[in-house]
Structure 1
């Protein structure tokens, strides 16, 4: 296009549109220093790259100094020092009395130290297993979402190692290993692992959740005290979380179990709203039916549903792979079993 100066534009009338070839002598480029353009010439001005720089990313907020961890580390260290000094003083007193008492006390102190180190090693191993399962679940979810066969094979190889010593997974491990190189899609590999390796464990997990929900429903329906209901529900839910973790390969220690329970509570907080639409009708109908039979039976059904929901959340957290090929258990899946556990005496009372 023509790029006349303001003075030339005032003296020369506008030019009519004209077609030019790029190899025409009358075509000039802006970079060429050819003087003022003529009336029968065209000037091509190449687009210049923008010099505007992208704004720098906003800095991430710093976590700051964690004074709480400092406090916990300091108090823990002081307690260990106090315990060590107390044991040292006690053993010295035993030696002051007689040698055999001193050696006995020293042997017992060594035994206690060995036990403490063993507990620490077991807790560390339990935490490592939980982190490994979390990593596996995230890796398989990412591989299925991106359909990355290479990443899926790497994660599934780790999954096979995780269940390498489990006799009930021998058939699934053999089937998965046989088809691992034949499937080329990452998502299909994850689905294959779900069907061949995790499906038997999922069946056992549903049975564990159903059994715990039925026990809670039955015990709280016939127990005379609310305190007993609370103790039974708490103990059964904690036992269910630990059993599900052991089923899927977690086997947490005390610290690992506390971490796992926190993850289950966080999972319940995140998925509670989404799960409400799936099970609200079943809960309301089931509670209404049981309430017509007996108020205690209604409380038993509600407590059983609560245990089932916690079990579902625990299975999602403990399972080393997300649900890709199928859906996980729902509250409605356990409703029929809970109603079947209602005592016949309560049903007869409701009929009368």
Structure 2
């Protein structure tokens, strides 16, 4: 092997060396200088790293907030119009008689207090839902990484979340004992799921099952599609609100809208609606259609889709992810829905 030298160094005659010769030296830098009595072998990487642009080049710039300006302007105009209308009304009442004017002022004060109370309640509701989301993410991280300290921190808040719920007293007492004895973070989260959340999970399944049954029956016997749509919409809203209250969410109007958005997102990510429809189609295609009328079969499918929405709502409202179990599935509700549909079929005949 021939030696490698930089351009401009001292010229030497070509010389042959063996790789195991003591005068052969390896170098991974390009600026190393060989000695007069040695051969220098310089290694060059075959990989060439392309120059990268800064991250700002691919980050979209924030556009000027014309939409926000429009919203602020229109909101201000509506507020001014409403305020002027109330002011004109009170002036007219005082012009008629003083007691009507004072009555108008009192009613206005009650309305203002109610508005402030509503805003405060909605803010507290959103904050509580945000803490539940943070708690669920924290317990998931503690279970995945078996982090005992992180598990203790989030389980303490879980105990605080249910401290005013008498039905969770036994589970909280058991969990507090586990937190003093168990040192594995994942095991602590699983014990919390078994002792504290299991009774709530059982009640959540009942809520979803009852709503799915009602949807199944109503859509089977209702002669109009509009009634079916309203029944399904009402039951789905009722499921989300009841499950959130069960797990400690206490949603207001804005909190409910946020939960509904999260449920829809969860269904979109997991493909829940398509999965429920496929599952129902498979069962109906393997003999159920021969035992039930087309209307009752459609009711079973609607009930299954309602159950799937309830399952997504459980995953969104529950303050801890399912670690020890996989959670409820649509097939868990199918057998009971089929039995209910068969009873309705027998009653109809």
The TM-score bracket by the shorter chain reads 0.7 to 0.9
Deviations 1:140-162 (A, max 9, x none): 22222222222222111111111
TM-score, normalisation: structure 2: 0.85
Summarize the Cα distance change of 1:178–1:73 in structure 2 as closer, same or farther, 3 Å threshold.
Answer: farther
Any stretches of 5+ residues in structure 2 without a counterpart? Answer: none
Q: Distance in 1 between matches of 2:42 and 2:341?
A: 85
SS at match of 2:271: helix
Residue number among 262, 281, 284 corresponding to 2:282 in the alignment: 284
Q: Tell me, yes or no, if the aligned pair for 1:28 and 1:43 is still in contact at 8 Å.
A: yes
Q: Tell me, yes or no, if the aligned pair for 1:286 and 1:335 is still in contact at 8 Å.
A: no
Deviation, 1:3, is: 5.6
**Corresponding residue number in structure 2 for 1:239:** 238
Residue number among 13, 16, 22 corresponding to 2:15 in the alignment: 13
Q: Tell me, yes or no, if the aligned pair for 2:277 and 2:305 is still in contact at 8 Å.
A: no
Question: What is the count of residue pairs matched by the alignment?
Answer: 342
Q: Distance in 1 between matches of 2:308 and 2:327?
A: 12
1:125 aligns with 2:124: yes
Q: Tell me, yes or no, if the aligned pair for 1:162 and 1:249 is still in contact at 8 Å.
A: yes
Residues 146-185 of structure 1 aligned to structure 2 (within 5 Å): 146-185=145-184
Deviation, 1:186, is: 2.3
Deviation, 1:267, is: 1.0
1:58 aligns with 2:59: no
Q: Distance in 2 between matches of 1:164 and 1:61?
A: 46
Q: Distance in 2 between matches of 1:27 and 1:214?
A: 82
Summarize the Cα distance change of 1:76–1:338 in structure 2 as closer, same or farther, 3 Å threshold.
Answer: same
What is the Cα-based RMSD across aligned positions, in Å? 3.5
**Corresponding residue number in structure 2 for 1:100:** 99
Any stretches of 5+ residues in structure 1 without a counterpart? Answer: none
SS at match of 2:341: coil
Summarize the Cα distance change of 1:37–1:255 in structure 2 as closer, same or farther, 3 Å threshold.
Answer: same
Q: Distance in 1 between matches of 2:51 and 2:183?
A: 40
Deviation, 1:348, is: 7.2
Q: Tell me, yes or no, if the aligned pair for 1:175 and 1:196 is still in contact at 8 Å.
A: yes
Deviations 1:306-331 (A, max 9, x none): 11011001111111111111111000
TM-score, normalisation: structure 1: 0.84
Deviates more, 1:306-315 or 1:64-73: 64-73
Deviates more, 1:62-71 or 1:5-14: 5-14
Deviates more, 1:262-271 or 1:141-150: 141-150
Deviation, 1:114, is: 0.9
